[in-house]
Amino acid sequence: MLLNLSVSEKTINSRQKPYINYNIKNSKIRLIGSSGSQIGILSSQEAMKLAEAEGLDLVMISDRSKPPVCRIINYGKYKFYQDKKAREAKKKQHNASLKEVKMRYKIEKHDYQVRISQAKRFLKSGDKVKATITFKGREIQHMNLAFELLNKMARELMTLAEVQQSPTREGKQMTMIMSPKKKRS
């Protein structure tokens, strides 16, 4: 099973395909056999003949070493397992998003505790939290109370979060952004 890829087919999703079969232009390569044993340093033509004899492909695994490392494998299987590994890595990746907790400066104790528990849940899952206090009408005169409430919230969440953006006023709202603390290794 020989695959010949033209030079124009070098990229898949902005990452490079490995060089295979006759696209390997290096004069000397380090060859690993189909069983995983090292065969040694050969010319690329000799390695290609060995791959043809086994009915498999010659695939460049690492081009950074001197001489480059090539292996005799089934390229279709190799590509399948590389894509599978990339999909698994993508599943395990967590992208932090910004979750919002809204309240008013005249919030009751129980409602405040509910907002704190929401913020804790968001922070534990690795998301950032944007705490927003909205003002209606003449409530804007009591910005100092909203500022104190946001600072109180930051103190209570101090073990889980660090303040990324201190309380700032944006029109008829006051906001503060907290991000989860980095785990120290």
Phi-psi region of 2 (alpha: psi -120 to 50; beta: other; left: phi over 0): beta
- Average pLDDT value for residue range 129-143: 90
- Cα distances (Å, whole numbers) of residue 28 to 23, 73, 141: 14, 19, 78
For the CA atoms of 38, 41, 43, 47, the dihedral, rounded to the nearest 10 degrees, stands at 0
Nearest to 73 by CA among 95, 92, 55, 49: 55
- Predicted pLDDT at 184: 60
Q: Is the pTM of this model over 0.75?
A: no
Annotation: CATH topology of 98-180 = Translation Initiation Factor IF3 (3.30.110)
Q: How far apart are CA 108 and CA 115, in angstroms?
A: 11
Read off the pLDDT of each residue in 2-25 and give the average, rounded to a whole number. Answer: 51
Task: Catalogue the E-assigned strands of the chain.
Answer: 11-12, 15-16, 28-32, 38-43, 57-62, 69-73, 98-103, 128-134, 161-170, 173-180
How many angstroms separate the CA atoms of 45 and 28, rounded? 9
CB 38 within 8 A of CB 30: yes
3-state secondary structure of 51: helix
d(CA 122, CA 128): 7
Residue 72, pLDDT above cutoff 90: no
What pLDDT is attached to residue 50? 82
Domain edges within the chain: 7-90, 98-180
Just give the CATH number of 7-90: 3.10.20.80
Degrees to nearest 5, angle at CA 175 with 155 and 151? 20
Query: Does the fold of domain 98-180 match that of domain 7-90?
Result: no
Span of 21-30, 69-78, 131-140 with lowest mean pLDDT:
21-30
